[in-house]
Amino acid sequence: MKHRSNTFTLITGASTGLGRELAFECASRHMNLILVSLPGEDLPQLCEKIRVDYQVAVYCYEIDLTRRNAPYELFGWISENFSVSIIINNAGMGGTMPFEQSPIQFIENVIQLNVRAVSILTRLLIPMLKQYKNAYILNVASMAALYPLPYKSVYPASKAFIYHLSRGLHEELRQDSIRVCVLNPGPIMTNSEVVSRIIKQGFIARMGLLPTRRIARIAISSMLKNKSVIIPGFFNKVYFLVVRLIPSYIMLPILSMRLRKEYA
């Protein structure tokens, strides 16, 4: 299974939600795909569907990226078989609960997946990306990266890391023809349970709610246009500007009240 004559787009967290829609969007643009997700999430079936519907090469790799050696194992498999010109670091996890009630293993998993796996996998693949005249890294952060969030404390901290990592790499790698972009989606209409939680947060949260397919389309189109910071939706763009102007002593109590409703 050697496929070095064609280039591939790597998407992590590809089996559900935004990752799944990113896979469909890339396939519709005739990109060959390497899709990565946890075992047991029907990834092989998704790969076959995309292969049949879009007539592109698609390969899947099931792995838990919270495991310490997982990024190295994934990289080893990729480097032996494929040439990657686009990385989409989409895999991530979070949750809403008081920090003191968060299981230690949950905190470790968030950091391992949202911070460590993204950093290590990107670092390992950069030499491969440098072989191409046009290569891309798209990291999925969040609007939550812009401000501390009570009851979600570790998640926004991890996404702030992704945001700053991406902005730094954008400057470091621009001379190497590698475009680094960071996607900051707001609330996403992934399933009824997620939408229900967002509705509990009130009017402001609902204003930023967008369908997953639309976010994926905006993300890939903006990436290919070399936009370094991607914020889908008019309301989210306004929010991005507003939160930079409001002092934290005003903003944090408002956010705390909204997120306490979701937790309750």
Count Cβ atoms within 10 A of the Cβ of residue 23 and give its class: 0-12 exposed, 13-18 middle, 19 or more buried: buried
Structure tokens at 1: 């299974």
* 147, 187, 211, 229 from 219: Cα distances, Å: 22, 15, 13, 10
Closest CA to 187 of 210, 167, 219: 210
pLDDT tens track for 47-100:
999 999 999 999 999 999 999 999 999 999 999 999 999 999 999 999 888 899
Distance CA 173, CA 8 (A): 20
pTM greater than the 0.95 cutoff: no
5 SS3 class: strand
Domain CATH for 204: 3.40.50.720
Strands lying side by side in the sheet with 58-62: 58-62, 32-37, 3-12, 82-89, 135-140, 178-183, 229-230
Closest CA to 139 of 112, 170, 110, 108: 170
H/E segment holding residue 244 = none
Q: Which domain holds residue 218?
A: 3-263
Distance CA 152, CA 222 (A): 28
Q: What is the pLDDT of residue 6?
A: 82
pLDDT tens track for 115-172:
999 999 999 999 999 999 999 999 999 998 887 888 889 999 999 999 999 999 999 9
Q: State the total domains in the chain.
A: 1
What lies within 8 Å, CB to CB, of 172 at 6+ separation is none
Q: What is the pLDDT of residue 246?
A: 74
84 SS3 class: strand
Say which residue the tokens 């992704």 belong to: 162
Distance CA 204, CA 89 (A): 28
Distance CA 82, CA 116 (A): 23
Distance CA 39, CA 66 (A): 13
